[in-house]
Structure 1
Amino acid sequence: MAVLGNFTLLFIVKTEPSLHGPMFYFLCMLAISDLVMSTSTVPKMLCIFWFNSREISFSACLTQMYFVHSFSKIESGILVAMAFDRYVAICHPLRYSRILTNSVVTKIGLAVVLRSGIITLPYPFLARQWPYCRTNIIPHFYCAHISVVKLACADIRISSYYGLFNLLSVSGMDLFFIAVSYTQILRAIFRLPTKDARLKTFGTCISHLCAISALYIPDLFSSLIQRFGHNVPLHILILITSVYQLVPPMLHPIIYGVRTKQIRGRLLQLFTHKET
């Protein structure tokens, strides 16, 4: 569902010239990151269930770790960019096309990718340096950084502190910028003269708020429980992690497909055209 939904979203935006705008470019970036997130974890998980293939090489584990953590931060950065897009569209509508040019969108996308790639780079290097002399069984279906380094027979406080710093500096900063954007958006909405205008304007933000909830709530729960939830049953931890890994890539195209009028119209047009 994640692969089909995100590829459909990319196809619709590519083939419909009216959707070639900043908001939909950010949406395409989100779809690509969702595809990478899904294909980094789900195939191995299915191999575990279907073929009882419960082994992964250490190098493949570190590679998976890098891609999963890097693209989860890319998703977070894209959601900040989408919040900025909504802020400009609602608070400065007459200057929207001048502020969010294709060049600016490209630079934002590159900045998000570079930030995530660089800040995640120490994860595999820190995990590789520790000696592993105990069990090599990870109680998860993918190589999360904290799950791997917990297997080391060494003092892993550096890895743990860096992971916590990463969580607070990236997710915390992104949530701060999103909150600032929506504070300004709500101030602009409440200044509108009629209730209908306020509801209609706020309705353009619903999809983005749903996407934020689908990503951040399980992510924060999963990260904090893995570090501090020592008495939390393992199956609860794995369930929360699974929700974080599997649900957002599946939900994002559904949320935007249902809530965004242009995408919904183009999708209906494709199906009705095929039927005729």
Structure 2
Amino acid sequence: MSEGNGSAVTEFVIVGFPGLKAKYYGLASAVMFLVYVCTLLGNAIFLMLFTKDRSLHKPMYIIILNLVVSDILFSTTTLPKIIARYWFQAGTISFTGCFVQMYFVHYFGSVNSFVLFIMALDRYVAICHPLRYPMIMTNFNVCMLLATAWLISKAGPMMMVIRAYPLPYCASNRIVQCYCDHISITVLACTDRAPYGFPAFIAAMVVLLVPLAFIVFSYASIIVAVIWIASTEGRLKMLSTCSAQLIIIALYYLPRCFVYLASIVGIKFSRDLRIVIIMLYSLLPPMINPLIYCLRTTEVKQILLKKFRGQRVHVQRQNISTLCN
């Protein structure tokens, strides 16, 4: 028996993509390892810039900083295990370890949703109420909003774990997914899943749709406000300010909405395709986000160029000093 909950399962096995042939395991692990390294490097660059340059200590960049931290932690929670599964054929995970991973998968996913909500709020106030922006979106107020987001995001995942952990798992222990999540675990329970799956589905919808509803409202208001700006240059500047956030939001929400709507209306597609879509919306945004808000944000680009030029000048001076000596 396992963990004192009446289950015959003592550990789970991360299957990953069930249709993937063994000859492609090395390629799959290499791709996911590359994604993980790019995610860590890209987000680490922003962390370094934020730490070193006080000019980035503004509400918008504080929000991005929280997105960066959440992305790093989410990727570190999910990717190493599935990389090990394909690289070293080490797909087993302990019973408790699987539930710990499940908690953090849903927790960091919830944090991301609320951080994107706060990002949309910041842009809404900046463009629709510019005169009140310095009073409303202070660093203190933004930090309080973000702290609230990290705090309330604990509720849903904790409820899922508390309800799913004691269930009897006496059949298969194979997780047909690249990481442990609520659906892939509870489907293995030897009991009626409906009383446990429906509350988790409602919690997921609240975390997904409530922020999304405000995001849609805020950007609709921004578009209306931009239309009323007489200057073409002013319109382009406003739209450029919001375009990076819109890309991030689209990457996060659109694939998730597709998967949930497909399950509601009964659209059927293969397990491998479903897992591919889930992995894309789980792992692509953390890798792409640094490129978006570094390459699309003028201030960050200028700081990067200044750091690069300063480093190059420093290296040249060192070389000249070495030659002279």
TM-score scaled to structure 1, two decimals?
Answer: 0.96
Structure 2 counterparts to residues 69-148 of structure 1, below 5 A:
69-148=106-185
Match in the other structure for 1:270 = 307
CA distance in 2, matches of 1:134, 1:196: 63
Shift of 1:194: 2.1
- Which deviates more, 26-35 or 156-165? 156-165
* CA contact 1:70–1:116 (8 Å) conserved in 2: yes
1:25 aligned to which of 41, 44, 62: 62
Shift of 1:224: 4.8
Shift of 1:218: 2.4
Match in the other structure for 1:10 = 47
- Which deviates more, 256-265 or 231-240? 231-240
Structure 2 counterparts to residues 28-47 of structure 1, below 5 A:
28-47=65-84
Match in the other structure for 2:287 = 250
CA distance in 2, matches of 1:222, 1:238: 10
CA displacement 1:132-191 (0-9 Å, x = unmatched): 111010111100111100011101112211122012211110111111111221121111
Query: Quick check: 1:234 aligned with 2:271?
Result: yes
Match in the other structure for 2:17 = none
- The one-letter code of the counterpart of 1:64 is Q
Match in the other structure for 1:162 = 199
Extract structure 1 runs of 4+ deviating beyond 6 A.
none
- Which deviates more, 10-19 or 57-66? 10-19
- Which deviates more, 17-26 or 215-224? 215-224
* CA contact 2:262–2:268 (8 Å) conserved in 1: no
Shift of 1:263: 0.7
- The one-letter code of the counterpart of 1:120 is P
Match in the other structure for 1:151 = 188
- The one-letter code of the counterpart of 1:144 is D
- The one-letter code of the counterpart of 2:274 is L
RMSD over aligned CA atoms reads: 1.5
Match in the other structure for 1:214 = 251
May I ask how many residue pairs the two structures share in their alignment?
276
Match in the other structure for 1:195 = 232
More helix as a share of residues: 1
CA distance in 1, matches of 2:281, 2:219: 24
TM-score scaled to structure 2, two decimals?
Answer: 0.82
CA displacement 1:52-110 (0-9 Å, x = unmatched): 10100111100110101011110010001000100111112222111111221121011
Change (3 A) 1:147 1:226: farther
Q: Which has the larger radius of gyration?
A: 2
CA distance in 2, matches of 1:227, 1:177: 22
CA distance in 2, matches of 1:134, 1:226: 24
Shift of 1:227: 7.0
Percent identity at matched positions?
37
